[in-house]
A and B are shown apart, each in its own frame.
Chain A
Amino acid sequence: MSISPDQTYLARTFDDGRYDWARSRRVRRRAVLAEAALLVALVAVTLAAATTSEGWTTWYFVAWTAGMLGFIPLHSVLNLGIRGVFDRDSRSLDEHQQRLADRSHNAMGWPSMGLSFAAWTGAVAVVALTGHVALALCLGFLLWFTSGLLTYWHLAWTAPEEPADADL
């Protein structure tokens, strides 16, 4: 029986040497900051839109779409930086990668639950105070989405710098 981690197509992509630049601590941390800033900006825009009488407007739709599209490359860089340990098949992870993933899951368990709770209460509060159901759903989605990202951010921020060339 093989003891090596299974190398699925996704795992090979995350381990591809062409993306070594994304694995430095500096790039990983910048990706975390950029994602966090983007989500804070989207939450702020949603709250700002909720305070208006129109609620859902074209400018809000444009801001939302631009933000979501901008998230895709940012998260791709961040995920390459942590070798996609939360997204690939667990059989493709070795004991150290599994350990790092478990550590971040454990560290972010309560904050993540808190944000999920804030997503519900925030959405309910927006509907109760403004009556804008679509914006309440957007706010709830953003906070719930952020709760899922906390483990990625924790790992990308805390993972040690990778050792130099494997062929040494």
Chain B
Amino acid sequence: MGRQPKSEADKVHDRIAVLRADRGVSRKELADAVGVHPQTIGYVERGDYSPSLALALRIARFFDLPVEAVFSLDPLPSLSEELLRRTS
């Protein structure tokens, strides 16, 4: 089971909101696909809740991405920055 982060250092960062916007997926659609309530996706996006490993893997599988592309212990750079870095 996941948990609420106790401090900033304890937080799990994610790209769910960006990926949802990119794929045109609502919170409810993602929640239905991964088996949680829509507000839980909102809590994860907001950093109020660190998902369980199983939920993190299901979310990564939904976006067809490796889990480390969606979740990180360090703040994730924006996708445009990363794209620029890879192409330059």
Residues of chain A at the chain B interface (Cβ within 8 Å) = 2-5, 15, 94-99, 103, 160, 162-168
A-B pairs with CB below 8 Å: how many?
64
Task: Report whether A95 and B43 are in contact in the complex, using a CB–CB cutoff of 8 Å.
Answer: no
- Say whether A163 contacts B37, CB under 8 Å: no
* Cβ contact of A163, chosen from B36, B45, B52, cutoff 8 A: B45
Q: Report the minimal beta-carbon distance from B87 to chain A, rounded to whole angstroms.
A: 31
Binding site of A, secondary structure by majority: helix, strand, loop or mixed? loop
Write out the residue numbers on chain B whose beta carbons fall within 8 Å of the beta carbon of A94.
35-37, 40
Residues of A contacting B42 in the complex (Cβ-Cβ under 8 angstroms): 162-164, 166
Contacts of A168 in B (CB 8 A): 26-27
State whether A95 touches B45 (Cβ < 8 A).
Answer: no
Q: Kindly list chain B residues whose C-beta atoms are within 8 Å of the C-beta of A162.
A: 39, 42
Contact B39 A3 (CB under 8 A): no
Instruction: Given A3-B35, A166-B31, A166-B39, answer yes or no on A95-B52 (Cβ-Cβ < 8 Å).
Output: yes
Q: B52 to chain A: which residues have CB within 8 Å?
A: 95
Partner of B2, one of A3, A5, A96, A167: A96
How far, in whole Å, are A26 and B65 apart by their CA atoms in the complex? 39
Q: How far is the CA of A132 from the CA of B37 in the complex (A)?
A: 50
* Chain B contacts with A in 35-81, Cβ cutoff 8 A: 35-43, 45-46, 48-49, 51-52, 55, 58
**Further pairs besides A4-B32, A4-B36: 4, Cβ < 8 Å:** A5-B37, A95-B36, A97-B37, A164-B42
B residues adjacent to A (C-beta < 8 A): 1-4, 26-28, 31-32, 34-43, 45-46, 48-49, 51-52, 55, 58
Closest residue of B by beta carbon distance from A162:
B39
Pick 20 A–B contacts, CB within 8 A, sort by A. A94-B35, A95-B1, A95-B2, A95-B40, A95-B51, A96-B39, A96-B49, A97-B37, A98-B1, A99-B1, A99-B2, A99-B4, A99-B49, A163-B42, A166-B27, A166-B31, A166-B38, A166-B39, A166-B42, A167-B27
Whether B26 contacts A167 by the Cβ 8 Å rule is yes
CB distance from B44 to the nearest CB of A (A): 8
CB distance from A154 to the nearest CB of B (A): 14
- What residues on B are CB-neighbors of A160 within 8 Å? 43, 48
Q: How far is the CA of A168 from the CA of B45 in the complex (A)?
A: 12
C-alpha gap A168/B43 in the complex (Å): 14
Distance between Cα atoms of A89 and B33 in the complex (Å):
21
